Amino acid sequence: MDKKVPRSNIIETEIPMGTVHPAALEPYRVRFFVEDEIVQEAEITIGVNHRGIERIMEGLPVEKANALTEKICGICSNSHIWNSCRTAEMGLGIEIPQRALYIRVIMGELERLHSHFLYLAHGCEVLSHETFSMRVFYLREIVMELLAMIGGNRVQYGCSVLGGVRPRCDLDEAKLLRLKNDMDAVEEGLTGFVERFLADSVVQSRITGIGVLPQKQAIELAVTGPTLRATGVARDLRTTMFEYDEFDFNVITQPDGDVKSNLVMRALESFESIRIIRQAIANIPEGKVVNRDWEMVDTDISESYIEVPRGTLYHSYALESGRVRHCIIRTPSMANIGAMQYACIGDQITDAQLCIVQCDPCFTCTDRAIEIIRR
Amino acid sequence: MGIKSFSRARAIHVMLVYTGGCNGCDIEIVNSILSPRFDAEQYNVFLTWNPREADVLVVTGPVTHLNRKPLEAIYEAIPNPKLVVAAGSCALMGGVYKNCYGDIPSEEIEGPVENIIPVNAKVPGCAVRPQDVLAGVVSLLPTLLDAD
């Protein structure tokens, strides 16, 4: 595939979108430089959402800071608290009970399901196919109610604590049975959706070959997560995480890097998540869910990477008399902004928003670094 | 009931503005209005993204510094009568972000929403439950319909 070259010197029209725009729920600003309705260059500006969460975490007791990381993002809140606890556990050398690891994996995969369903629904909505969008939203409600059943809240569950999971999130027989039955329902619904989605020739012609991100470019832009796997690179951090050692799953890839690849990629990955949850339900070990037997010591900066629905999430901080110091968080959407800008180039302006949405943007997580210029 | 109220009662349009929270309330609200499970359309409540069409403005998030002007502009653009629902603890009191620098007030957060535009109904929760948002919007309907 030829390399697409951004051309900013011969610009005919500039079309700004944002900061509040109907197709993108979150506030961000994007400028399209357009010539003959073809986007020549796109420029995404973030920083509208900046709240300074790393600054708030600085100096907080580590338990409080863990709870606060949930407020970074309302979509992948469990991933943040999971990774934040994991960072402290790595630094302090806390041993986590096997049952707690299984519950964390179940929560992580449920979250991946709801995030991918949100992506599919939002993608269909931007495609203006309301029926598909509604069907996926309806399916997503099953997953949301499962998350509410385990965590007690529909969005921020606070599942992980230092040394395991909250006792409230322990799974008894009835909960496991409901989880098992609902996974069957979700799989059935998703299969129906994917079959109809792939058979719909109108939708397929609308999304095939749109917003292409070539593999070479994706690697060059350091794209992460499903957006990278949709260009054919089989790179999934779950294969290296010790939590997933006992689970059998495939790393899904798609060849083209266009909108179709991205949508199909997320749908197929959801089936793998269902598979992992089923294995976890079948093999969940007995025992306690939280290990309280550890001591707080000062640590050096410890860091942890996990695979979250959108890609690689990085947390790092040091502990100083039980408080968080030098906190750095890097969310996957930060890496994918380059992909969003690149995917727009060479497509019609009408497809530009679709090209951005195909990279699954979450600007809420991303907006944490800001440069304040005082005049 | 005037002809305006008569027609308005059949199509209440809700606009959602998101001013920098954690995205949780935002998606819950889009779900409650959009998704078939909670189905706001059974109460003749529809989601719109055009402030000129809107009757009710739902605001989520603590208003960050850069979001203040867009929020004011959107509020100005809505025709009278207009009502505002502040949803979520960030919109009500700034949430966890408001006092992020200890005693020194944060320069990033302009909220709560009350500081910027008048608020008619408050929906608490972190994150808000879709049922509560529906109840909040529906509780405003008499005020809206008696307006003219």
A contact test, residue of B17, B35, B106 with most A CBs within 10 A: B35
Q: Say whether A75 and B27 touch across the interface (CB within 8 A).
A: yes
> In terms of Cα–Cα distance, which of A88, A79, A83 is closest to A112?
A79
Question: Among A8-22, A61-75, B18-32, whose mean pLDDT is lowest?
Answer: A8-22
Contact B116, B72 (CB under 8 A): yes
DSSP category for residue B59? E
The pLDDT of residue B76: 93
Residue B72: the pLDDT is 92
Return mean pLDDT, chain A. 88
B121 has a pLDDT exceeding 70: yes
| CA–CA gap between residue A344 and residue A275 (Å, rounded) | 34
Query: Which band of pLDDT confidence, cut at 50, 70 and 90, is reported for residue A371?
Result: low
Average pLDDT over residues B98-106: 64
Does A341 reach chain B within 8 Å, measured CB to CB?
no
Lowest mean pLDDT among A93-97, A297-301, B93-97: B93-97
Find out whether A43 and A55 touch, Cβ atoms under 8 Å: no
More confident residue, B95 or B134: B134
Nearest to B129 among A137, A154, A156 (CB): A154
Higher per-residue confidence, B94 vs A136 = A136
Task: Give the pair of three-digit tokens for residue A325.
Answer: 């110091």
Contact (CB<8Å) A26/B26: yes
Q: How confident is the model at residue B127 (pLDDT cuts 50, 70, 90)?
A: confident
- Chain A: residue whose CA lies nearest to B67: A48
Nearest residue in chain B measured CA to CA from A72: B22
Q: Is A124 on the interface with B (CB under 8 A)?
A: no
Res. B96 pLDDT band, cuts 50 70 90: confident
Closest to B26 (Cβ–Cβ): which among A55, A74, A77? A74
Which range of A4-13, A278-287, A331-340 scores highest in mean pLDDT? It is: A278-287
pLDDT tens track for B59-92: 998 888 888 888 999 999 999 888 999 998 888 9
Nearest to A235 by CA among A300, A141, A142, A332: A332
Whether A141 sits inside 8 A of B37 (CB atoms) is yes
Between residues B37 and A375, the one the model is more confident about = B37
Smallest Cα distance from B30 to chain A, Å: 9
Phi, psi of A153 (to 5 degrees): -140, 155
Instruction: Please tell me the predicted confidence (pLDDT) of residue A8.
Output: 62
Q: Which of A112, A156, A200, A78 is nearest to B129 (CA)?
A: A156
Q: What is the pLDDT of residue B34?
A: 76
Longest dimension (CA), chain B: 53
Q: What is the ipTM of this complex?
A: 0.90
Contact predicate B57/B12, CB 8 Å: no
Q: Do B36 and A364 touch (CB under 8 A)?
A: no
Q: What's the pLDDT at A83? A: 93
Instruction: Please report residues of A whose CB lies closer than 8 A to that of B49.
Output: 22
Q: Which of A27, A153, A154 sits opposite B67 (nearest CB)?
A: A27
Q: A26 or A11: which carries more pLDDT confidence? A: A26
Is it true that domain B3-146 has CATH number 3.40.50.720?
A: no
- Reading the block at residue B114, the tokens are 């009350």
Q: In the A/B pair of chains, how many CB contacts fall below 8 A? A: 117
Structural domain boundaries of chain B? 3-146
pLDDT of residue A37: 85
What is the pLDDT averaged over residues A74-103?
Answer: 91
Task: Answer whether A356's CB lies under 8 Å from A30's CB.
Answer: yes
- Percentage above 70 pLDDT, chain B: 93
**Lowest-confidence pick of A114-123, A352-361, A363-372, B106-115:** A363-372
For testing the chain B interface, which of A17, A19, A20 should be mutated: the one with the most B CBs within 10 Å?
A20
Written as one string, the DSSP assignment of A97-147 is -HHHHHHHHHHHHHHHHHHHHHHHHHHHHHTT-HHHHHHHHHHHHHHHHHH
- Look at residue A123 and tell me whether its pLDDT is greater than 80: yes
Encoded tokens for A300: 């050096």
B75 vs B84: CA distance, rounded Å: 9
What does the pLDDT average to over A82-89? 92
Q: Classify A182 as helix, strand or coil.
A: helix
Query: How many C-beta atoms lie closer than 10 Å to residue B128's C-beta?
Result: 26
Average pLDDT of A249-278?
92
Answer yes or no: is pLDDT of B27 > 60: yes
What is the rounded distance in angstroms from the CA atom of residue A336 to the CA atom of residue A359? 7
Nearest CA to A49 among A365, A372, A374? A365
Could you give the CA distance from residue A52 to residue B32 in angstroms, rounded to a whole number? 29
Confidence label for B122 from pLDDT (cuts 50, 70 and 90): very high
Query: What pLDDT sits at residue B102?
Result: 59
Q: Is the pLDDT of residue A165 over 80?
A: yes
Helix intervals (H) in chain A: 53-57, 62-69, 77-92, 98-126, 130-151, 173-199, 201-207, 215-220, 226-229, 259-283, 332-344, 352-357, 363-366
Query: Do residues A348 and A37 touch, judged by C-beta distance below 8 A?
Result: yes
pLDDT tens digit string along A27-77?
Answer: 888 888 888 888 888 888 887 888 778 878 888 899 888 988 888 888 888
Query: Inter-chain contact A73–B67, Cβ cutoff 8 Å?
Result: no
Banded model confidence at residue A87, pLDDT cuts 50, 70, 90: very high
Give which of A293, A347, A269, A275 is closest to A32, Cα–Cα.
Answer: A347
Pick B46 or A21 by higher pLDDT.
Answer: B46
Region of A22 on the Ramachandran plot (φ > 0 left; ψ -120 to 50 alpha; else beta): alpha
Q: Do B64 and A20 touch (CB under 8 A)?
A: no
Interface of A with B in 43-82 (CB under 8 A): 47-53, 55-56, 68, 70-75, 77
Which chain B residue is nearest to residue A23, measuring alpha carbons? Answer: B49
Q: B24 and A72 in contact by Cβ < 8 A?
A: no
Q: Specify which residues B17 forms β-bridges with.
A: B59
Q: What is the pLDDT of residue B106?
A: 67
Name the minimum distance, in Å, from the CA of B2 to any CA of chain A: 32
**How confident is the model over A336-360, as pLDDT tens digits?**
888 888 998 888 888 888 888 888 8
> Model pTM greater than 0.90?
yes
Cβ–Cβ contact A180 with B under 8 A: no
